[in-house]
Amino acid sequence: MAEGNGVPKNGFVDFQTDPTRYRHWKLEVRGEVAQLILDVDEDGGLFEGYPLKLNSYDLSVDIELADAVQRLRFEHPEVKVVVLRSGKDRVFCAGANIRMLAGASHMHKVNFCKFTNETRNYIEDASAFSDQKFICVVTGTAAGGGYELALAADHIMLVDDGSSAVALPEVPLLAVLPGTGGLTRVTDKRKVRRDHADVFCTIEEGIKGRRAVEWRLVDEVLPRSRVEEKVKARVDEFLARSTRPEGLKGIALTPLKREIGSDRVRYSAVELEIDRETRVATLTVHGPAATPPADPDALVAEGAETWMLRAARELDDAILCLRLNEPGTAILLFKTLGDPALAMEHDRFIDENQQHWLAREIRHLWKRVLKRVDLTSRTLVAVIEPGSCFAGTLAELAFAADRSYMLIGQFEGDNRPPATLTLSAASFGPYPMSNGLTRLQTRFLGTPDSVEAAKAAVGKPLEGKDADDLGLVTFALDDIDWEDEVRVFLEERSSFSPDALTGMEANLRFGGPETMESKIFARLTAWQNWIFQRPNAVGPEGALSRYGTGQKAAFDMTRV
């Protein structure tokens, strides 16, 4: 795989880790309560050239956090409450490391902000759908991304000691915005008054004590002398309200089986191949080779090896690998291979066992992975050919695509049966996008009756003409036109400006209602993308470049 701009220490950004390799987080599980302790190793950054002082973070810190949140759901389903806190005495978290931001490529900064946003959303998803509640204890300063981490929690406790404070100082200090959803969570989640939020976001020192509570920036303050007593009392309250079942035993999220080559990553159920000359990445998901487990007990016994879980984890890793290690790729082309009937059996098994914690977590993982697909800044294309397995959950890859091409009939000389697309109940609720709608609801905003027509076809293997009639594919083509149509599209798309395509695709993918999540990604990240290129932030006299030098930034004061 190619290295990204700004080479990490090992030449490859790897999103796979486990608690035995954490350098920045400590995960402690004691019965129904877990503690996630941020104690950043200053020398453990992803790149050379900056120490991670004051519990500041870079992508390596968030990779560990994302892994920990995932493991709490799968390996520790007995946990009902998670306490987020700092392992350092006088600072909670200083936010994203400034030297990292100043020195990283634009591509890396934006992908860093996106992954961090997704990780914060995963914390909120665990609370909303798995009833694993998060309490954040802020001792010392929680600034910028540090406060944004606290904002992801269900309850924020701020020590009232005259020095502990929460702050979003990016505007006055760095000439950028809180890049992990800070502004949006302040207004939409914490429902802070607009004028109070305006004051809060324009002062460097932040807000302390009772005012932080009165302005809804935190939920309570507590004296330093009674921190542990007060935290225990709050944890006990959350435990008393928990609806999580008792006596659950988790599964081990074993390491992914991967072979990483110069132009491919091969997993057990997923393959990612990179053609750097054409700028096309082909991601192939292999359907199941065997029937689903016989019952929930068998599902637990299979653990991380069960196909639905294994394929989701591998697809997630492949998407992240592409984002950070192959910035020159223009197009992500989705293919599937396998038996659609077997894939539908696995879908039915997960659907019928939603009362079981592991089946439910697997479905929620697929929801999160598919959202990651939606939010990936590449042109997404699905190619549905004979031998494909776009059935059930895998059909969502076709609906996530910006365009889909489906062959009508067979290729000349190919004795495989015609390509089909098969809908299951999974396309009608379990996998909402960031806008709160399913991909089919988003596709048919103007013709909602089309969703009902598609629902009537659940379970039927639809060939090209039928799928086209239902509006489920962009183009259904016969063998004569297939090769030229697909080739011309790929060549044309690769020739367009990547900046224009990123803006176009982000605008077109999320029609319909706005949610806090869609605002964070579609609005805030777009502005962050723009602001991070402006000379006022990254120019030689910009705020990020001059931060810590004693020199004041020189701004171009023109409003654009």
> What is the residue-wise DSSP string for 384-397?
E-TT--EEGGGHHH
Residue 199 lies in a domain: yes
Residue 15 lies in a domain: no
Contacts of 329 (CB under 8 A, 6+ apart): 274, 276, 279, 280, 281, 322, 378
> For residue 5, is pLDDT > 70?
no
- 182 and 96 belong to one structural domain: yes
**9: how many CB neighbours lie within 10 A of its CB?**
11
- 306 and 334 belong to one structural domain: yes
Token duo for residue 1: 């795989």
Write the CA distances from 313 to 33, 368, 411, 516, integer angstroms: 26, 10, 33, 26
- 334 and 214 belong to one structural domain: no
Site of tokens 């909602």: 448
Element (H, E) at 66: helix 59-74
- 289 and 150 belong to one structural domain: no
Name the residue type at position 392.
G
Residue 98 lies in a domain: yes
Q: CA 86 to CA 26: how far, in whole Å? A: 10
- 86 and 54 belong to one structural domain: yes
- 214 and 337 belong to one structural domain: no
Q: What is the mean predicted confidence (pLDDT) over 35-62?
A: 96
Range of the domain at 74: 24-240
Strands 133-138 and 270-275: unpaired
Q: What is the pLDDT of residue 3?
A: 36
Kindly report the average pLDDT of the chain as a whole number. 95
- 354 and 420 belong to one structural domain: yes
Q: What is the pLDDT of residues 507-544, one digit of tens each?
A: 899 899 999 999 998 777 777 778 888 899 999 999 99
> For residue 321, is pLDDT > 50?
yes
**DSSP code, position 522:** I
Of 210, 240, 270, which one is at a domain's C-terminal end? 240
Higher per-residue pLDDT: 149 or 177: 149
Domain count, the chain: 2
**What's the N-to-C CA distance of the chain in angstroms?**
39
Of 240, 274, 303, which one is at a domain's C-terminal end? 240
Q: CA 436 to CA 390: how far, in whole Å? A: 23
Q: CA 18 to CA 37: how far, in whole Å? A: 15
Site of tokens 């004569």: 480
- 167 and 271 belong to one structural domain: no
Reported confidence tier of residue 503, pLDDT bands at 50, 70, 90? confident
Residue 374 lies in a domain: yes
Q: What is the pLDDT of residue 7?
A: 53
Residue 12 lies in a domain: no
The CATH number assigned to the domain holding 337 equals 3.90.226.10
Residue 338 lies in a domain: yes
294 near 35, Cβ under 8 Å?
no
- 337 and 484 belong to one structural domain: yes
- 274 and 187 belong to one structural domain: no
Reported confidence tier of residue 2, pLDDT bands at 50, 70, 90? very low
Q: What is the mean predicted confidence (pLDDT) over 142-149?
A: 97
Provide the whole-model pTM.
0.96
Q: CA 432 to CA 399: how far, in whole Å? A: 12
Q: CA 208 to CA 457: how far, in whole Å? A: 58
Token duo for residue 53: 């002082």
Site of tokens 């020739």: 495
Q: CA 374 to CA 535: how far, in whole Å? A: 30
Token duo for residue 508: 């077109």
Residue 18 lies in a domain: no
Of 508, 534, 549, which one is at a domain's C-terminal end? 508
Write the CA distances from 468 to 81, 302, 383, 416, 484, integer angstroms: 48, 38, 14, 21, 19
- 214 and 281 belong to one structural domain: no
Q: What is the pLDDT of residues 79-88, one digit of tens each?
A: 999 999 999 9
Closest by alpha carbon to 16, among 314, 327, 285? 314
Residue 193 lies in a domain: yes
- 311 and 404 belong to one structural domain: yes
